[in-house]
Amino acid sequence: MAGRAATWSAKWARELLLKRVSSNPPLHGAIRNCSSSAPGASSTPKVPHFSKKGRILTGATIGLAIAGGAYVSTADEATFCGWLFSATKVVNPLFALLDAEFAHKLAVTAAARGWVPREKRPDPQILGLEVWGRKFSNPIGLAAGFDKNAEATEGLLGLGFGFVEVGSVTPVPQEGNPKPRIFRLREDGAIINRCGFNSEGIVVVAKRLGAQHGKRMLAETSSPSDEVKPGGKSGPGILGVNLGKNKTSEDAAADYVQGVHNLSQYADYLVINVSSPNTAGLRMLQGRKQLKDLVKKVQAARDEMQWGDDGPPPLLVKIAPDLSRGELEDIAAVALALKLDGLIISNTTLSRPEPVSNSPVATETGGLSGKPLFNLSTNMLREMYTLTRGKIPLIGCGGVSSGEDAYKKIRAGATLVQLYTGFAYGGPALIPQIKEELVSCLERDGFKSIQEAIGADHR
């Protein structure tokens, strides 16, 4: 174990350094002004340029890798795993020095390349639960929007999330809205984005998910049963696929149906996203008649496909936090009448609750996520649990950055909980921290399982 880890650390450091060197453009301006332009002069070697921020980030990462390789020789696997997660607390703040969207892409690349810690410690039994006939080792998931194109599902699931949701995926590739389109409000633990469903499209995502699914199937058939951890179609952990519509599409239902036909075979659950504020007209699909017609068409498309013993993937709808009581009642009625498998509450908000309203960045258009969204989304979650009488699994999303936050969502009626902005700021170390804090909350109030705590505030 120690030898493998040390070798991995050295290889990781070498690969990162080589990638950094090869990806930096030469100083063309300097070369043009050198004497090499004289006849007969030899060409000047291309020297890579390292920005100050780049040197800091690269040096810190390599240092951690080398230190990890040395440390592992004296530590057991669980201890070393904990050290790796803790070490990310040093690297993660450096991402704040980078442009927000570039930092996001770098984080996705790191997860895709395996440059993130992998959770080797089993989740506490008290966190396990079964939803839709699928076993979740813990209720903490990563929301859609982080891995839009399913580039890093294996690495993200390996971080210890109970489930990961990719997307939103549109049928045809589209660039999304013009940049800049992601804005940090670091003091408030918030982000405003107006990405607009930037997606590589269904074909690319289906290829990636198909490869991951094939890898999982190969592992199940070629390895002893006790070596393959239980999970979903893409490996340990549950995978959700979030479907969107193209900006120029005139038939929203056709877009979602196309997503079902191409991606549902790789999904442990599907999500219809009708609540992003960054695609014109999308939120109108949350109206009672529009939502009912849309869900019926998507359900029919899913159910007409051939499925094995596990049956078709559950179908959920993700809704906005800016809805009136009457609109919530309409959505609840549709969900109950059509036996929808779940609701995700909620997407980003167009409102600017305090203290965000006092920030100059608050004037940027787009959806607000993070800590300021917590109360709004949790109150809405509580209302929807009442309206659906606890009959439909709800996923609480919005402002979760601690185990206590997750616990409040669960008590308000959430069966599962998702985070995104909290993860962007806290990094991989936040995941085991949230799970540990959640266990403490459950034990403090005398609950023996997550299931017992769901909707506790309503009893």
Cβ contact 269:418 at 8 Å: no
- Tokens 């056709």 map to which residue? 254
- Tokens 């498998």 map to which residue? 341
- Which tokens is 170 given? 């549109």
Q: C-alpha dihedral over 346, 89, 99, 351, to 10 degrees?
A: 30
- Please report which helix (H) or strand (E) contains residue 407, including its range: helix 403-412
- Read off φ and ψ for residue 141, nearest 5 degrees: -125, 165
For residues 398 and 368, give the distance between their C-alpha atoms in angstroms, rounded to a whole number.
10
- Tokens 């633990």 map to which residue? 189
For residues 80 and 92, give the distance between their C-alpha atoms in angstroms, rounded to a whole number.
18
For residues 174 and 168, give the distance between their C-alpha atoms in angstroms, rounded to a whole number.
12
Residues annotated catalytic, as ranges? 276
13 torsion bin: left (phi>0), alpha (psi -120 to 50), beta (else): alpha
For residues 15 and 24, give the distance between their C-alpha atoms in angstroms, rounded to a whole number.
14
For residues 337 and 316, give the distance between their C-alpha atoms in angstroms, rounded to a whole number.
14
